[in-house]
Chains A and B, each alone.
Chain A
């Protein structure tokens, strides 16, 4: 039965970090929706807020970060109104997390089997032996042959690829409906990356699990995701079905990213390097205006609202122009 209610719905989220230099506005009204069973990608570069978004959903935003306003609804419940205890129950059991650096994410002084046990026993009363059995199965399903040796070992004995498989196994062992992966393959060799992503995609599709994948790699999103959200300076600038957004981008930043991956030149203007992205003095108007070749006075004074165009959502005053100028790829 198809339901239209999204599994996860983030609305107008504002997150800021007070620092000695001033308040850093990390998220400035982020809205996104993830429907059940889909593989959704969130893409952007340093400072766009994609990791902050992921961590806000999980409730693991690191202090001094704080959620200023907005809503995060998961399976109909408002996560921001939950107590920390209730949220801890949701984490792991209903929303899993695959972080970036697998070896750093694992506890260095615990055996792997103990780490499984900790996660399992935090949510239900299970014997350690049963934990080990469940862990063994989980590791096998994550593509690790010889799981017993891994279980008795420690994190530092694992290669990057193995460690990430362990992390995936831990993240999915309680059968969460939604898994959030924050740059799960950044830092891994490209051949290992391919293995890990194939594993995730294959299993998630068969198990009908939902994935929110945060990454800076366009190719990863293009090959594995159904939908994409492009972020810049704490806002979603474009979103929609992956092939549509990449095939016919309607935001200049999306176009820039595509061009950068392909090392092809669209007519995006001159090569002057941009300075530091300033998230403290958040200007009025479009956040991309300072880098945008299509920026005009309206861009600088009026922030574009996100709107529907050609089957996707985009926040740009000049979206029609971008759409027209983009070379269609069949």
Chain B
């Protein structure tokens, strides 16, 4: 049974006086125990809203969020509170997510206050220090205030806080977007390490498709509140089959001269979420579109084990594989990167 399941969830927001914003339009995602899943998309994709539904800030308008098979919308307050102890969250901007008057020790220990009232003050402190060490922060951090931390250190504190109750699932909402370049890599490597060490599941939400590479096993690509493609992360990054995923990857800049082929600039902009297109949502920008695409909504089709694509023209979307000029994402150091490419 999957640990977490979003089952055909929709969510619409009402802006004062204005139209309705259809943030999520029938999204189903599942996360297995111990699995890290990436959710990738640009602004307007609905990925953040999905995250908010899972952590309970909002409730879905239709569909359900299931944790261990239980519909979160049907739980009473007490049961829900218990579930909150098993799902934790890491926010995008580390400093904003901390009460500025609390010390690092209190911040990391807050989940314990809520969920482990059985623990004594000393036990809490020990557990907090353990969590800090697991993110390579020293015990001396305990009494410091967030304002004295760099963003890299602060994000580590946020991660420590998310692990302190031994959760089953951690939702990471753009965990590296506010960080400097040289810190991003550190944090992503830390997250990858932690995931293996703790066996926890991740739902990693990001607009930076590269950040899912080292940290996730599966990736889901969202556009305008729907899933366009989902599959193993390496497949998605090296051999994507949905035209949007391809456009996304083509748009990424790279410092490899080899991979810098001239790609046509992406077309247009994302349609307004107040007026959803009929038919395929990506129609207005798709280089492969035909009339049939606009006629009816497109469902996800399985094209290989674990690889689903929502495109009726998927047969025409195959490209080269890893290591060829088509792949713009920097290849892992262990692959034969510097060789065959010419």
Contacts of A274 in B (CB 8 A): 150, 152
Interface positions of A (Cβ within 8 A of B): 45-46, 159-162, 189-195, 198-199, 216-220, 222-223, 243, 246-247, 256-265, 271-277, 327, 329-330
Contact B248 A275 (CB under 8 A): no
- Could you name 25 residue pairs across A and B whose Cβ atoms are closer than 8 Å? A162-B269, A189-B42, A189-B43, A190-B208, A190-B251, A191-B251, A193-B253, A194-B250, A199-B265, A217-B181, A220-B253, A222-B257, A223-B254, A223-B260, A247-B257, A257-B182, A258-B255, A260-B181, A260-B185, A261-B185, A263-B188, A264-B333, A271-B186, A273-B150, A276-B148
Rounded to whole angstroms, the CA-CA distance of A258 and B43 in the bound complex is 26
Among candidates B137, B214, B253, B332, residue contacting A222 with C-beta atoms closer than 8 Å: B253
Docked Cα-Cα span, A162 to B268, in Å, equals: 10
Partner of A193 from the list B150, B251, B270 (CB cut-off 8 Å) is B251
CA distance A257 to B210 in the complex (A): 15
- Cβ-defined contact, B252 with A219, below 8 A: yes
Contact residues on B (Cβ < 8 Å of other chain), bracket: 35 or more
Cβ-defined contact, A260 with B333, below 8 A: no
Give, as a whole number of angstroms, the nearest-CB distance from B261 to chain A: 11
Q: B122 in the interface, Cβ–Cβ < 8 Å? A: no
- Chain B residue nearest in CB terms to A161: B269
- 8 tightest CB-CB pairs across the interface, nearest first? A219-B253, A260-B185, A189-B42, A222-B255, A45-B180, A194-B251, A191-B266, A262-B330
Distance (Å) between the CB of A180 and the closest chain B CB? Answer: 20
- Chain B contact residues, majority secondary structure: loop
Give the CA-CA distance A216 to B265 in the complex, in Å. 22
- Does B307 interact with chain A (Cβ within 8 Å)? no
Say if the beta carbon of B233 comes within 8 Å of chain A.
no
> B: which residues have CB within 8 A of A?
42-43, 136-137, 148-153, 156, 180-186, 188-190, 207-210, 213-214, 247-248, 250-257, 260, 265-266, 269-270, 330, 332-333, 338
Q: A330 touching B338 by the CB < 8 A rule?
A: yes
Q: Which of A192, A243, A271 contacts B136 (CB 8 A)?
A: A271
Complex contact A263–B330 (CB within 8 A): yes
Given contacts A189-B207, A276-B149, contact A263 B181 (CB under 8 A): no
CB distance from B295 to the nearest CB of A (A): 25
